Amino acid sequence: MREAEKAESCRIDSSGTEKESMKSVLRRSKVIAVVGLSSNPMRPSNGVADYLKRSGYRIIPVNPNEREVLGERAVGRLEEIREKVDIVDIFRRSEFVGPIVESAIAIGAGAIWMQEGVIDERAAKKAREAGLFVAVDSCIAKDLARVGRG
């Protein structure tokens, strides 16, 4: 998949101050935990994570069914990560988001990105109340391509 296709496989929906806040989060972040990251190069999670990695981010695959993805050792749960996570990018169905957000809050992540089609307003509210930046139904790769990193 070409780089432009990877970015275009996700939808953007942001404006105004949210766009500035998003830009700030993307610029200051270094480590992104990708929950649901697949080693299958045909899966959107793989293409997005590859784009993020090539854009200079450290990617941590979070998937109990994977050992390694994109040259990075996978972990089964966010709580297994032993370094600071700036963004938790979620590629799981909406009904699984609540516990992932709780884990993200518990590990001190700074932002939650629910990928396109992933919507859990209750979890989003909880994350915002905990002080995290939250993007819902939004692709981080497309957002990065739009607002830039640096």
Contact in structure between 52 and 7 (CB atoms under 8 Å)? no
In the chain, pLDDT over 70 holds for what percent of residues?
A: 86
Cα-flanking dihedrals φ and ψ of residue 119, to 5°?
A: -135, 120
* Token representation of residue 63: 């998937």
Query: Which long-range contacts does 116-121 make (Cβ < 8 Å, 24+ apart)?
Result: 116/10, 116/11, 118/90, 118/91, 118/92, 118/93, 118/94, 119/94, 120/94, 120/95
| Residue 61 bridge partners (DSSP) | 34
Contact in structure between 91 and 115 (CB atoms under 8 Å)? yes
Q: Can you tell me the mean pLDDT for 118-131?
A: 96
Q: Supply the pLDDT for residue 148.
A: 83
Q: Write down all domains in the chain, each with its CATH number in brackets.
A: 3-147 (3.40.50.720)
**3-class DSSP state for residue 121?**
helix
pTM of the model: 0.88
Whether the pLDDT of residue 1 is over 70: the answer is no
Say which residues have a Cβ less than 8 Å from residue 17's Cβ, sequence separation at least 6: none
Q: Can you tell me the mean pLDDT for 33-54?
A: 98
* Token representation of residue 38: 């697949």
| Residue 111 bridge partners (DSSP) | 87, 133
Residue 79: which pLDDT band, with cuts at 50, 70 and 90? very high
Q: Supply the pLDDT for residue 111.
A: 97
Phi-psi category of residue 48: left, alpha or beta, with phi > 0 → left and psi -120 to 50 → alpha: alpha
Residue 149: which pLDDT band, with cuts at 50, 70 and 90? confident
**3-class DSSP state for residue 118?**
coil
